Amino acid sequence: MNQKDIAKEVLAVSLHIADADKFNFEDSKKRMQLLTESVLKTNLLRQKPNKNCNQTVDLEFQQIDNLKDLLPHLAECSNLRELILHGNRLHTLPEDLSTLSTVETLDISNNLFDDIIPIINALKTMPKLVHLHIGLKNINEEKFVIQQLPNLITLNNRRLKFFDQLDSDRPSDRQSVRSEKSYQSEITFNQEDVDNVENLFNQICNIQNNQNQSKINSPQLSDHVKDVMIDFQNKVQQTHSKHFLDTHILRAKYDLYEICFRELIEYFRNNNNKLEEVLRTLQLEHSNIFNDLTNIIYNLRDYKKIQKEHQELDQFILNSDFVKSLNKEIQLFKEDFDRLLAEKNKILQQKDQLYEMVQNLKLQVNTLQNTVLKQEQEKDDLNNIVSQLEYQFAQQQQIQRSHRNSSKQIQSSNQSFQDIQSFSNFQTQQVVMFVKGTQTENKQLFSKESQTINHQDDNIILTKSINMQSFQLKYEDLQSQNEQLQQENKKYLDMIIRKSKIEKNSNLISEITQKQSESPSIIEKKRQKTLSEFHILVQPQSFRPLTLKQLKDIIQDIYESKSKHDIRQYENKLPFETIEQHMYTYLYCKYGLKNLALEWVACIINAIQKYIAEDNDVSVFALVLKNNLDEDFRLLQSQRKQNIEQIIKSTLQAKYKTKSKAEIMEMVKQKVTGQITQQEVIDMLKICFPEEEEKEILLSQLKIHQIKTVVSVSPIKKTNQKEQQRRPSAQKEPIKYDYSVFIKLILDHFMSQYKQYLANFCIVFDQVDHDKDGILNQQQFFKLTESIKPKLKNEECSQIYEMLDPFLNNKITFSQIVRVFKNLQFYNKYVDLIQQISIV
């Protein structure tokens, strides 16, 4: 039997092929079929103990140029996990690889692929492909593969993403990476291994033949191969584990190469004894190492046995007394849990019943509230009617008073006219008497000088007539100057009286500020009394009352001047002023006279009292003057106005998409200066107030205000409204509200919330601020910080005071403290210092 027959028989034995004569190496198609069948039978061999172990098909370096014929055979492997096609002659892949539905690992590296795009399109049809080995030319192809195959976990032995642990009954992961052929040869046994041994053995024999030591070693090799393969077959039939099978394969390959080792040692025994001893010791050590390694693998325990031992251990634990007692306790806990669950269900049922009762009570309360609201509306209607009557009566009284005042003025004017007339008559009499006296003097002079020359008489008469004319002109000038002096004297007299009263009250105010030893309540009462007297006395008589627009312009000018003044004060390291102090400073700088500034202050205060209920900006300014709000709050209110106008703009843009920006802005301007519908009000309230209660309160207030305005209109308008109500619903216009009323209600709501937020701080500040000027010194500030709970440390108080008064002026205002306290948290990162203040 020659070497080729021996190789065929060995391969037949290793692959369980029944007839080795059918193994034709010349016919490529038969070789491919037999190779496929051998691969499948090898896998069937491995799945004998466990069908789930049929996972790997190795077709490495098999000269395969078409995979389409192999697909039906590969599809028969139901548990195929790994397919190795490394080192073949594939130019492309079939378009549909969906029959390989269980393959997770594919190695198609070192093939002859022309274009990567059809290869990737074919790989997309493999549903479970997660590990891929493929030859790539550059980074762009790698990015293309990762992008087209998003389920990949590893690409060319590089992990792309984390993955879960595989199923517990599968063998340990081999990582399906076959980058080197040597690793594959450790776990496979095929014709190539036999050919390698044969070639090596022939080379050793040829060395001996060259030295004229001819031996016929073919029978020796064939016997050796038969012995190794028979031993390998016996061990394989008794194997039930994959790693034992791999060990048997390695052992068989090692035994095959032993004949080459022995032949080489025999050669050197005849030629070189020293080298023969070295090789023999090397062979002995090598065999010992390999035997130890295989013994270690053989002594490994099978995972099934370990699983059985674990099951026995679990059964032993379950049968132990301790576990039984724990199970009993668990059972008791379950019973208690079921009992508590039943009680919980009963409680939930009772809760549902109580909820139904509460809902019924709520309905009753709602009906009662509706009746109360109706009665309140009727009461408001009656009050409106009464107020109208009172207003009409007050108007009539005012008219009567005006008539009386006008009559008094007429009488006084008549009296003044009579006085002037009498005075003028008296002066005319004096002038007439003076003229008569001059005439008598002229006659006497004429009689005395009648004897002089005629031309001298004419000149004298002419000069006297000229003197008379000049005298009359001087008389008229003196009369007009007299009238002007009388008017100026009257005006200056009024100013002197007013100034004396102002100085008297200013002295009173200065006395109050100096007396700090008195109690704060007495000081406040005196201050309020003197200020009220001051406002009464300083009411401008020569200034007309301010309109709302004029008042708001003045307030805005004061705010802007105050911000610029604060910047200058900070640059010059001077203390800040309160808004009340800066109002006097601003007016004095603007008009230059103290009296004019005081008159304008009185005008502003009277206008605030007049318009405080009509406009939110005026009420905010009044509260800032009283140190009940800080100066920064007006910026929040202006921002809220802008936000509401932006909401109106966005709703109109969404409703009228074809209109231009200019048209939208004009519509917004009309809304802001006019009226808005009830639906627009509801939409804006939903955006501004997420809580339903606030929305309902504001909407009800708006409706009440609308009802009051409807009641207060003239009877003609009421009849028109009744006619509109009688019309059909299709002709009814939507309910509209004044935008000014709507924005005032919202801003007043925010202002009331902010006042509640500052309530405790304002009370403590008033207790500390003895002179009531809105300014504290260092001692007063430390006293204010005592109300913060939990109490601050001295170092923290000093640190805050340094932030407020960096230039050590010993003066800090109300607004400065609020601005810093709102942004500081101590002991509670969710609450600022203002909310930590408690009233003692």
Task: Specify if 6 maps to a domain.
Answer: no
CA atoms within 13 A of residue 37's CA, in its CB half-sphere: 13
Q: What angle do CA 272, 277, 278 make, to 5 degrees?
A: 100
Task: Specify if 672 maps to a domain.
Answer: yes
Longest alpha-carbon distance in the chain: 202
Please name every residue paired with 154 in a beta bridge, in sequence order, or none if there are none.
131, 159
| Mean pLDDT, each 10-residue run in order, the chain (840 residues) | 44 41 44 49 39 69 86 85 90 89 91 89 91 88 88 87 39 41 52 80 74 55 82 77 78 83 80 80 83 75 65 79 84 90 92 90 90 87 81 76 68 58 58 64 62 48 52 64 61 56 47 44 49 44 75 94 94 94 92 87 92 93 94 93 92 90 92 89 86 83 77 49 50 78 92 93 93 92 88 89 92 94 75 80
With CA atoms as reference, report the closest residue to 677 among 732, 730, 720, 738: 738
Strand order, beta sheet including 131-133? 56-58, 82-84, 105-107, 131-133, 154-155, 158-159
**Residue 594 tokens, joined:** 């103290």
Instruction: Tell me which of 155, 180, 205 is where a domain ends.
Output: 180
Whether 389 and 416 share a structural domain: yes
8-state DSSP, 453: -
Q: Give the CATH number, domain containing residue 99.
A: 3.80.10.10
Whether 579 and 653 share a structural domain: no
Q: What's the pLDDT at 565?
A: 94
Q: What's the pLDDT at 257?
A: 84
Q: Give the CATH number, domain containing residue 778.
A: 1.10.238.10
With CA atoms as reference, report the closest residue to 813 among 571, 627, 633, 560: 627
For residue 670, the surrounding DSSP H or E stretch is helix 661-673
For residue 607, the surrounding DSSP H or E stretch is helix 594-611
Task: Specify if 24 maps to a domain.
Answer: no
Q: What's the pLDDT at 514?
A: 47
Instruction: Tell me which of 253, 279, 304 is where a domain ends.
Output: 304
Whether 51 and 173 share a structural domain: yes
Whether 159 and 59 share a structural domain: yes
Whether 580 and 681 share a structural domain: no
Whether 259 and 207 share a structural domain: yes
Over 317-331, what HEC string results?
HHHCHHHHHHHHHHH
Task: Specify if 808 maps to a domain.
Answer: yes
Q: What is d(CA 704, CA 67) in angstroms, rounded to the nearest whole number? A: 87
Number of domains, the chain: 6
Q: What is d(CA 623, CA 575) in angstroms, rounded to the nearest whole number? A: 22
For residue 304, the surrounding DSSP H or E stretch is helix 303-319
Whether 767 and 752 share a structural domain: no
Whether 438 and 355 share a structural domain: yes
Q: What is d(CA 41, CA 18) in angstroms, rounded to the nearest whole number? A: 11
Q: What's the pLDDT at 470?
A: 59
Whether 767 and 693 share a structural domain: no
Q: What's the pLDDT at 577?
A: 94
Task: Specify if 596 maps to a domain.
Answer: yes
Q: What's the pLDDT at 445?
A: 62
Place of tokens 């921002």: 639
Q: Residue 678: give the domain boundaries.
A: 633-757
Q: What is d(CA 243, CA 541) in angstroms, rounded to the nearest whole number? A: 115
Task: Specify if 29 maps to a domain.
Answer: no
Task: Specify if 725 maps to a domain.
Answer: yes
Instruction: Tell me which of 698, 726, 757 is where a domain ends.
Output: 757
Please name every residue paired with 106 in a beta bridge, in sequence order, or none if there are none.
83, 132
Whether 230 and 296 share a structural domain: yes
Whether 277 and 300 share a structural domain: yes
Amino acid at 53: C
Task: Specify if 259 maps to a domain.
Answer: yes
Whether 355 and 439 share a structural domain: yes
Q: What's the pLDDT at 768?
A: 93
